[in-house]
Amino acid sequence: MLGLLALLLLCGGARAATADAAGDCAARILDVRIAQALPDGARPADGPAWRPVTLPDDWSARWPGHTGKAWYRIDWRCDGASRAPAALALESIIMAGEVYANDDLLWRDASQSEPLSRSWNMPRYWRLPESAMRDGVNTIWVRVAGVAGQHPGLGPVYLGEPEAIERGHEQRVWRNRTLFHVNLTISAALGLFFFSLWILRPQQSSHGWYALTALFWVLFAANIVATSPWPFATTLAAARANAMALTLHIACFCMFTWRFAGRYRPRLEKVMWVGVALSLAALAFVPDDVQPSAQFVIVMALTALFCLNCLHFSIQALRGRDREQQLLAACLLVFLGAAVHDLLLLFKRIDGLSYIPYTSIAVLIGMSAVQGLRHARSVRRIERFNEELEISVQRARDELAVTLAREHELALAHSRLQDRLDIARDLHDGLGGSLVRMTALVEQSGAPLQNRQFLSMLNLLRNDLRQTIDSGASADMKPPATPREWIAPLRHRYTQLFDELGIEVRWDVPASWIVPPSALQCLALTRLIEEGLTNVIKHSRAGRVAVRLAQPDPRALELMVADDGAGFDVAAVCQAGISVGMRSMSTRIARVGGSLRIDSAPGRTRLTASLTLEAEDAEAAPATASAQDVSKNRIRT
């Protein structure tokens, strides 16, 4: 946005006229002349080398391509009291210099050779010492060190009564220095603020482009107030960097206005950034002798782009109904009017003071206010959305509560059905097996049962029923201490029955656990043995039965029930769904983290259950335990 101000400053600063002051010493400038310095920097002697000039002066038109030093001679006198107090003020020295009152040194820049000090926008004021004053004509000598292409020369000179000159000097400091310090401070603060907003909300790309616009303006405007050449080695290097910052500033400003208006122009943006890249390359790599001309062309092209973009944005905004765009357009039109005034001032079409230093701050604050209004509107829209979202969430929460209540009722019903299925499995596997076993005993008995035998059967049925009722709490019970303790009740129940039926039974279990299974796993294996042996009694017509328990490694447990009976077609039975026992066994083993495999053929049927034991229990097992050690202690019956 402030690109035109940059152009004005690059092309020589604001125009001002030499002023006289009233007072005891009514200073009157008699003559102003210029001459090139001698090779050693000394003043040339009076003669044709001295040419008359009018201040402010730019020696580029007089000596094209001259880089070096020149002397300005300003003859003046007091039309008043002899040796009355007087003061001297200079608006600018482009680029560095030193000042003498007659032959007394008043001041000199720190560096008068490359890299030159930067006094081009630094007003200076001195109260002339009485010892340096003469009766009649006095002379102010100013030696200027300048660089071709950077408008070298001397700005307006003010002589007169000290108080009046000092007041004018303070105004120039305010206009040329203080306003820019304020501008830099505000630009940096607002740039950081909108950069933070962009970080929080990257979708607001106008905030990011505004932050970049402010950043490059700060880099450019820092050249306006800088008096030290650091960090650049030459004046032209500083000028190149300054023009690059201006180029990026105007490009980012165009992007900001387009994003602020919600417009995306991919082709135009691509063309602009290609032009920016070419401009940056030209500013960086062109030779020093053509650098000023290239810089002028690029700056004029950027100024035209800036003005056209401002006009186009303003026209589009005034046609639309977006309040923020209209306010931003008003800010741009104000600045554009000030820029046109200062261009006329620059080309000496009118007289007066530059408006841009004053309007730039107001426009900058106005642009930031417009950005703030848009951000505030976005925040209000977000708040309304949050309120609507909260209402929607509450409605969804109510609906979810109703749904959860309905699902809870379904879950309860499912739980009841599952409990019934579990009870049915337990009755089938436990009590059902006992009934089958006792039926077989009664059928095989040649004489009526005695009361004690009948009572023993009833006690067994009671125990099975109690175990069925207590199976839900098996997770809290402790597993049997050894496999022998676990298998003993089963072996006792079935051995007598198999003996009476003439079936040979073999029990093969280890004497101790490597890692004990859980109580639920023990119960599942118990039910599997009961169901398997019951099926042998009911269906197999087997002559031999084997029950084998093994722990091939600390984390695995295998149980096998095998017989040499008639066998059956496993696939056909599963497909027909007629075997409640098989489904019950598979479900039980799966619940405790295992799997069941059934292999059957005429003369051979084998049920193999594989369980995975808990990892922490397996890690706690002694590392030295092995299947070989356990096999030595197996029980064979």
Residues 219 and 272 in one domain: yes
**Residue 392: inside a domain:** no
Q: How many CB atoms lie within 10 A of CB 61?
A: 9
Averaged pLDDT for residues 369-389: 81
Q: What pLDDT does residue 53 have? A: 94
Percent of the chain with pLDDT over 90: 23
Confidence bin at 458 (pLDDT 50/70/90): low
- Among the candidates 142, 173, 204, a domain finishes at 173
Q: What residue type is 238 in one-letter code?
A: A
Percent of the chain with pLDDT over 70: 81
Q: What pLDDT does residue 278 have? A: 94
Which one has a higher pLDDT value, 235 or 355? 235
Residues 306 and 165 in one domain: no
Residues 39 and 166 in one domain: yes
Residues 156 and 300 in one domain: no
Q: What pLDDT does residue 364 have? A: 73
- Among the candidates 120, 149, 173, a domain finishes at 173
pLDDT higher than threshold 60 for residue 302: yes
Q: What pLDDT does residue 523 have? A: 83
Averaged pLDDT for residues 529-552: 85
Q: Each residue of 155-177: pLDDT tens digit?
A: 999 998 899 999 999 999 998 88
- Mean pLDDT (the chain, rounded): 81
Q: Each residue of 411-446: pLDDT tens digit?
A: 878 777 766 766 666 666 556 666 766 676 666 666
Which one has a higher pLDDT value, 435 or 254? 254
Q: What pLDDT does residue 418 have? A: 67
- Among the candidates 356, 384, 412, a domain finishes at 384
Distance from C-alpha of 161 to C-alpha of 164, rounded to nearest angstrom: 6
Confidence bin at 7 (pLDDT 50/70/90): very low
Q: What pLDDT does residue 601 have? A: 86
Q: Which CATH number goes with the domain that contains 115?
A: 2.60.120.260
Q: Each residue of 123-156: pLDDT tens digit?
A: 999 999 888 888 888 999 999 999 988 889 999 9
In terms of C-beta density within 10 A (0-12 exposed, 13-18 middle, 19 or more buried), how is residue 482 classed? middle
Residues 198 and 71 in one domain: no
Q: What is the 3-state secondary structure (H, E, C) of 242-292?
A: HHHHHHHHHHHHHHHHHHHCCCCCHHHHHHHHHHHHHHHHHHHHCCCCCHH
**Residue 398: inside a domain:** no
**Residue 466: inside a domain:** no
pLDDT higher than threshold 70 for residue 324: yes
**Residue 457: inside a domain:** no
Distance from C-alpha of 138 to C-alpha of 101, rounded to nearest angstrom: 8
* Residue 233 in tokens: 């080695």
Residues 169 and 182 in one domain: no
Give φ, ψ of 122 to 5 degrees: -125, 95
Query: Going by C-beta distance under 8 Å and a sequence separation of 6 or more, which residues neighbour residue 500?
Result: 440, 441, 444, 445
Averaged pLDDT for residues 513-523: 86
Q: What pLDDT does residue 270 have? A: 94
Averaged pLDDT for residues 20-39: 78
Residues 483 and 581 in one domain: yes
Most confident segment among 18-27, 49-58, 292-301, 314-323? 49-58
Distance from C-alpha of 423 to C-alpha of 108, rounded to nearest angstrom: 108
**Residue 417: inside a domain:** no
> What total of structural domains would you count in the chain?
3
Averaged pLDDT for residues 493-513: 84
**Residue 566: inside a domain:** yes
Confidence bin at 465 (pLDDT 50/70/90): low
Distance from C-alpha of 29 to C-alpha of 471, rounded to nearest angstrom: 119
Q: Domain of 50? A: 15-173
Q: What pLDDT does residue 623 have? A: 39
Residues 233 and 126 in one domain: no
pLDDT higher than threshold 70 for residue 614: yes
Residues 497 and 513 in one domain: yes
**Residue 159: inside a domain:** yes
Q: What pLDDT does residue 75 have? A: 94
Confidence bin at 14 (pLDDT 50/70/90): very low
Residues 43 and 150 in one domain: yes
Confidence bin at 484 (pLDDT 50/70/90): confident
Residues 205 and 93 in one domain: no
Q: Each residue of 63-110: pLDDT tens digit?
A: 988 899 999 999 998 876 556 788 999 999 998 999 999 989 999 999
Residues 520 and 595 in one domain: yes
Confidence bin at 368 (pLDDT 50/70/90): confident
pLDDT higher than threshold 50 for residue 636: no
Q: Each residue of 36-70: pLDDT tens digit?
A: 999 988 999 988 899 999 999 999 888 988 899 99
Q: Residues 440-449: contacts with CB within 8 Å, 24+ apart?
A: 440/497, 440/500, 440/501, 440/537, 441/497, 441/500, 444/500, 444/501, 445/500
Averaged pLDDT for residues 562-582: 76
Confidence bin at 407 (pLDDT 50/70/90): confident
Q: Each residue of 178-226: pLDDT tens digit?
A: 988 888 888 888 889 889 888 988 888 888 998 999 899 899 888 888 8
Q: Which of 239, 227, 229, 226 is nearest to 150 (CA)?
A: 239
Q: Which CATH number goes with the domain that contains 615?
A: 3.30.565.10
**Residue 453: inside a domain:** no
